[in-house]
């Protein structure tokens, strides 16, 4: 059995679909009732079990002999949340408890970190998992800090040679877009947010730049198609010898103007963009540039190409957003 925490969420539900399509066997999901668009993200899946977070550890104990791997993707992920205790419980303590359980029961453990751990990018975007390298990073918000805190704890556990899962991998996901993100509100990708206006031939709104180094719409992000994230996780499942902390991006930063252009091209419309002021509440914590350094994952043996921004957006529009049923 494979357990996916956050399995009704965006990346989690895409992983569950990928596991099912690849014949991975019994799949269990741990998530809140009604999560993921009132359950629509996983409505098409044949699950062995769907459990609430409060039942997670009793479920693991009950199925300990069957458990092959835990993909821990569940988290409090809002970059605007201000409850530090919530992040501590959901993103740090739970992750650590799962680590120890998987170490004790010899179950593989693959967890979601985040590119938010890099903060403003002053120290670059190198996925060096050593304690020294991680100590230099300065995340900009509580979400990034909570993910970073767990990455640093893992580095300390490994350095001290404490018991560990037979395979352990942390994945620093960059700017992911794709189907099943519709429930995320203002945390949705710009593609999903801008699609309704673009489909109505109305202007797409992008934030103005408040950094003189970047033009309006020229802010740069490493946008990655969710199918590529799933491909990386399925590859890791097939390669239990791979351990460590890895970036999951394309390695190529693209502008928000590029993203909007790809959206209009997929709709066969001329681009029309309106630039609006960035809310003051996020200006000081805004990432103007992200670009994953992918050499470490490539050196580990991952060879599949990453989907271009244009192809990913076109697939998203054609196969999901333009359809009556946009769910994977």
Kindly report, residue by residue over 269-324, the tens digit of the pLDDT.
Answer: 999 999 999 998 888 888 899 999 999 999 999 999 999 999 999 999 999 999 99
Q: Which residues of 35-56 are buried (b: 16+ CB within 10 A; e: fewer)?
A: bbbeebbbeebebeebbeeeeb
Position 259 in a domain: no
- What DSSP state is assigned to residue 92? I
- Pairing assessment for the beta strands 204-207 and 273-276 based on DSSP bridges: parallel
User: How high is the pLDDT of residue 130?
Assistant: 96
pLDDT confidence bin for 88, thresholds 50/70/90: confident
Position 183 in a domain: no
Position 159 in a domain: yes
Rounded Cα distance, 267 and 170, in Å:
36
Position 297 in a domain: yes
Tell me the backbone φ, ψ of residue 5, rounded to 5 degrees. -80, 145
105 CB neighbour count, 10 Å cutoff: 15
Position 79 in a domain: yes
Residue 253: closest CA among 219, 277, 228, 202: 219
Exactly one of 184, 188, 286, 288 is catalytic; name it.
Answer: 184
The pTM for the full model equals 0.95
Position 274 in a domain: no
Q: What is the mean pLDDT of residues 232-238?
A: 98
User: How high is the pLDDT of residue 37?
Assistant: 67
Tell me the Ramachandran region of residue 61: left when phi exceeds 0, alpha when psi lies from -120 to 50, beta otherwise. Answer: alpha
Range of the domain at 74: 2-178+222-251+291-306
Rounded Cα distance, 185 and 189, in Å:
9
Q: Which residue has the tokens 């800090």?
A: 145
Give residue-wise pLDDT tens across range 191-229. 999 999 999 999 999 999 999 999 999 999 999 999 999
User: How high is the pLDDT of residue 187?
Assistant: 87
Residue 156: closest CA among 138, 139, 132: 132
User: Tell me, what CATH number does 97's domain have?
Assistant: 3.40.50.720
Position 193 in a domain: no
Helix (H) or strand (E) holding 49: strand 49-51
Residue 207: closest CA among 269, 267, 287, 265: 287
Q: How many domains does the chain have?
A: 1
Concerning whether 143 is annotated as a catalytic residue, the answer is yes
**How far from chain centre, in Å, is Cα 190?**
15
Position 39 in a domain: yes
Exactly one of 111, 118, 143, 320 is catalytic; name it.
Answer: 143
Rounded Cα distance, 84 and 188, in Å:
22
325 CB neighbour count, 10 Å cutoff: 9
166 neighbors 107 (Cβ within 8 angstroms) = yes
pLDDT at 46 > cutoff 70 = yes
Q: Which residues of 65-75 are buried (b: 16+ CB within 10 A; e: fewer)?
A: eebebbbbbbb
């Amino acid at each position: 059995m494979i357990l996916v925490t956050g399995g009704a969420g965006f990346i989690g539900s895409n992983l569950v679909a990928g596991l099912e399509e690849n014949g991975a066997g019994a799949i269990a999901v741990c998530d809140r009732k009604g999560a993921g668009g009132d359950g629509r993200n996983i409505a098409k899946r044949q699950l062995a079990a769907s459990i609430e977070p409060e039942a997670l550890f009793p479920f693991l104990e009950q199925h300990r002999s069957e458990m092959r791997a835990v993909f821990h993707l569940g988290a409090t992920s809002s970059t605007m949340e201000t409850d530090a205790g919530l992040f501590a419980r959901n993103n740090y303590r739970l992750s650590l408890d799962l680590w120890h359980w998987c170490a004790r029961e010899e179950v593989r453990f693959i967890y979601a970190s985040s590119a938010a751990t890099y903060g403003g990018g002053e120290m670059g975007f190198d996925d060096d998992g050593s304690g020294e390298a991680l100590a230099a990073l300065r995340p900009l918000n509580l979400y990034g800090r909570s993910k970073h805190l767990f990455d640093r704890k893992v580095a300390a556990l490994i350095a001290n040679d404490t018991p560990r899962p037979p395979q352990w991998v942390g994945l620093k996901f960059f700017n992911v877009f794709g189907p099943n993100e519709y429930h995320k509100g203002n945390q949705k990708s710009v593609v999903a947010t801008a699609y309704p206006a673009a489909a109505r031939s109305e202007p797409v709104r992008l934030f103005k730049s408040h950094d003189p180094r970047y033009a309006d719409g020229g802010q740069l992000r490493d946008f990655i198609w969710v199918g590529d994230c799933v491909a990386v996780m399925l590859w890791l499942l097939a390669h239990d010898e791979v351990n460590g902390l890895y970036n999951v991006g394309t390695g190529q930063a693209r502008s928000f103007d590029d993203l909007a252009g790809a959206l209009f091209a997929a709709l066969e419309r001329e681009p029309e963009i309106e630039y609006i002021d960035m809310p003051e509440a996020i200006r000081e914590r805004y990432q103007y540039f992200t670009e994953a350094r992918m050499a470490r994952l490539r050196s580990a043996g991952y060879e599949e190409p990453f989907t271009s921004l244009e192809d990913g957006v076109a697939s998203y529009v054609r196969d999901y957003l333009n359809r009556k049923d946009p769910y994977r």
